Amino acid sequence: DDSMVEVAIAAFTTVMAMDADPNLPEQTFDTNELYTHVRKKLEEMVSVKADVDWMICHVTGKKRSELEHLTYIRHSKAEELTDMARRRQEGEPLWQIIGNADFYGYEIDINRNVLCPRPETEELVCEAVKYVTENSRVLDLCTGSGCIAIAVADKTGAHVVASDVSEDALATARSNAEKNGVADKIEFVRSDMFGNIEGAFDVIISNPPYIPTADIQKLDREVKDYEPALALDGGEDGMDFYRIIAEKAGGFLAEGGRIFLEVGIGQAQAVGDMLKGFDTKIIKDMQGIDRIVCGVKL
C-alpha cells in the first residue's frame, strides 16, 4: 500500500541523514517509532504491519516472533530498508523484494521467472501427500519455483519428476531443490506439458496457468507487472491447460492413479467434467472456494 510505504520512508528520514554524514557516530533507531507511525495511520491494515515486519526480519536476520523484543536497528541498515520500501511502493511483490517465501515450511527462492507460492497451493500439496508413499512416482506439471515437488519429495520420500516449459523457471526450481536438500529425489525435465514426459506415474499434481487472457490486465499490479505471464495465462477462457491435462493425463497414470489439480474461481466443476475416465471430487480451500479437483483413474 502506497501510504504505508510513505510512512515507512518518513520514519527513516532522520536515520538516513546520519548515513549521509560518515563522521556521525553509530547510532540506533528505535523500531517502536516505526511501529507507532504505521499503527497510528494504518491500524486497521494488518497486512501493512506484516509487510514492515518482514522487511525488518530480512535485514536483521530476526524471526517475526522475535520482533517484539527487538529494540533497535542500526542506521547502517536503514538504506537497505528504505530501498525495499520504495520498491514496494512501485508495486513490486514483497516476496520478490525479499527474495524468498515460505511454502509448507520450506524456504523457496522467488524471482520474476516464477510465481510466488500461494497458500491455496499448500492446500493442494496437503491433499496430495495423503496418497503418496516412498515408492510412488509423482509428476509435478508446471513446476515453476519447484515448491510442490520439493514439499512432496521431502514429506514422502517419493521420486518426483518436475516439468516446466521455461528453462529459467527450471533453473530456479533446481536451485530451490538443492537449497532444501531434495535435489536427489527430483528429476527436472523441460517439457511443454506432457511433450517430453515418459513413463507412468502413481500421482500427477499440477497448478497450471488458469487466468483468462483478458483478465490478466485486471489483476493487481504486483501480479500482472512482476510475475511471468507464461505462468498466469490460461488462454481465452483460462482452461487451455486443463484441456490438455484431461486429454493426456490418463495415459501417464498407472491403474488406480490419482490426479490433483489447483483451479481458479468458478472453474472446478468444468475441470471435473473434463476428466473422463476418472472418479472426481472437488475440495474447497480455507476460504470456502472450490479450489482442488481430485480424480482417481477408473
Residue carrying C-alpha cell 501427500: 129
More confident residue, 14 or 290: 290
Q: Dihedral (C-alpha) 67, 68, 74, 77: value to the nearest 10 degrees?
A: 30
257 within 8 A of 202, measured Cβ to Cβ? yes
Q: Looking at residue 39, what is its pLDDT?
A: 38
The 10s digit of each residue's pLDDT in 224-246 is 999 999 999 999 999 999 999 99
Angstrom distance (rounded) from CA 246 to CA 190: 20
What amino acid is encoded at 219 in this protein?
A: L
- DSSP characters for 215-257? GGGGS-HHHHTTS-GGGTB--TTS-HHHHHHHHHGGGGEEEEE
159 within 8 A of 187, measured Cβ to Cβ? yes
More confident residue, 249 or 62: 249
Rounded to 10°, the helix 2-20/31-42 angle is 150
Angstrom distance (rounded) from CA 107 to CA 176: 8
Share of the chain above pLDDT 90, in %: 68
pLDDT band at 55 (very low <50, low <70, confident <90, very high): confident
The 10s digit of each residue's pLDDT in 160-195 is 999 999 999 999 999 999 999 999 999 999 999 999
Q: Looking at residue 77, what is its pLDDT?
A: 72
Residue carrying C-alpha cell 482452461: 239
